[in-house]
Amino acid sequence: MRSFNAWRLAFALCTITSAVNLQAPYYAALAAHDELGVGATSLAFAAYVVGILPVLILLGGLPDRVGRRPLIMVALCLCGTATTLTLVAPGVASLGIARLLMGIAAALTSISAPAYMLALFGTSDSRRPTNWVTASTSLGFGLGAAVTSAFLLHEPSLTPPSLGAYLVMAGLALILLLGLEDASNEAPGRAPFLRLPAYPTGSLPFGLSILLAWATTGLVIAILPATLGQHGLSDWSGFVTLGICSGGVLFQPMARRLSAVASVRLGLLILPLAYAMIAWGALAGSLGSVLAGALAASSACYGFIYLGGLSGVLDAADGQHARASAGFFLMAYIGFSLPVVVTGTLVDLFGHATALTLFGTLLLVSTLVLNRHLASRTRRRCHAA
């Protein structure tokens, strides 16, 4: 019964995250339709974080106040509303509003899902429940974009059939959530409403690592389609999104066998090399290089860093799982949106090559500094033991 309940929640999480990148493969087409540039779609993409930040910063106590299942159901409804908006009124403005709604949905999911899955498994060991959360959300982030790309390759459109198919999927997820057990740590209605994100001792490097990882993912999703479009390859961008978001699921079993620190360090080593392959392939028009680089980057972004980082944060949470996961995802989503806006602006000002090179340089320096910090922390623990 526990496994069936976990599957029901995992399907809902996959459905919520499938909405997030559903429109990504035709960002460039929306911008062209509205006679706008890459910077405009980057701003619309980053509206996501405007919806996320207030929830993650201020409402970490919401799951214990109203329950976890209601928040997951609200998130599904918000994603359905956002998808409907882009279906009936395609354009960059409606995309921005939809991204805002999806951001709220993603934030509600982030503060609810890790602790909810942990409770459904009824264990103090965070590794397996965390794996279910990371696997289902990673698959979802890439699935929606890939399905959209498949339809666009068949027939270009600003309202592909994937949008309607998503609404059916969301309805099924809502039905499966009905009656799912929901035992919060505190009685609903008595827990504090406002609860700030927490960064337990030793958890900040995990947050900074996921910031870098998801900044890379955000850039690939929001900006790379325009770069690929210079070579007539933009319709393939959904499969690139599937690779960078969902490919990490293949590496999560390996990440589970490593300690949290070792998993994150391995991801930080892979990330800049994979990004270099993606950037070179996009600028040169080499789709094979982009797809291979996306899969390699996904092993870091949604495999080693995502699973290792979230597990490390929950292990350090000391009972404050909702607040600690809110802090972790706050860093993740800041990375997912804000660097994309800056890079998109640089693309409009200086071109794709300069913008992608600057991002890659900062990524390389940051990963080296973080990896060195985590290595020194490991050595200190070994000496203390």
Q: Is residue 323 part of a domain?
A: yes
CATH number for the domain harbouring residue 103: 1.20.1250.20
Beta pairing partners, 195: 59
Q: Is residue 191 part of a domain?
A: no
DSSP secondary structure string for all residues of 211-236: HHHHHHHHHHHHTHHHHHHTTT-GGG
Q: Tell me what pLDDT residue 333 has.
A: 83
Please state, in angstroms and rounded to a whole number, the distance separating the CA atoms of residues 365 and 39.
Answer: 25
- Could you say which DSSP state residue 200 is in? -
Span 297-349, pLDDT tens digits: 999 998 899 888 888 887 776 767 767 877 888 898 889 888 888 888 898 88
pLDDT digits (tens), the chain, 385 positions: 567 888 999 999 999 999 998 998 888 888 888 888 777 887 887 888 889 888 878 877 788 778 889 999 999 999 999 999 999 999 999 999 999 999 999 989 988 888 888 888 776 666 678 778 888 988 888 889 889 989 988 888 889 999 999 999 999 999 999 988 876 544 455 656 666 777 877 788 899 999 999 999 989 888 888 888 888 887 788 888 888 888 888 888 888 888 888 999 999 999 999 999 999 999 999 999 999 999 999 999 988 998 888 888 877 767 677 678 778 888 988 898 888 888 888 988 889 999 999 999 999 999 999 999 888 766 666 555 5
Sorted by sequence, the CB contacts under 8 Å of residue 136 that are 6+ apart come out as: 10, 11, 13, 14, 17
Q: Tell me what pLDDT residue 186 has.
A: 47
Please state, in angstroms and rounded to a whole number, the distance separating the CA atoms of residues 266 and 239.
Answer: 25
Q: Tell me what pLDDT residue 90 has.
A: 93
Q: Is residue 202 part of a domain?
A: yes
pTM, rounded to two decimals? 0.78
Q: Tell me what pLDDT residue 72 has.
A: 94
Q: Tell me what pLDDT residue 87 has.
A: 94
H helix intervals, the chain: 2-20, 27-33, 38-58, 62-66, 68-88, 92-121, 127-154, 162-177, 204-222, 224-229, 237-246, 252-256, 260-284, 287-298, 305-315, 321-350, 352-384
Q: Is residue 176 part of a domain?
A: yes
Please state, in angstroms and rounded to a whole number, the distance separating the CA atoms of residues 291 and 237.
Answer: 9
Q: Tell me what pLDDT residue 192 has.
A: 62
Q: Is residue 192 part of a domain?
A: no
Give residue 131's domain range. Answer: 2-186+197-384
Span 16-45, pLDDT tens digits: 999 998 998 888 888 888 888 777 887 887
Q: Tell me what pLDDT residue 278 has.
A: 95
How many structural domains are present in the chain?
1
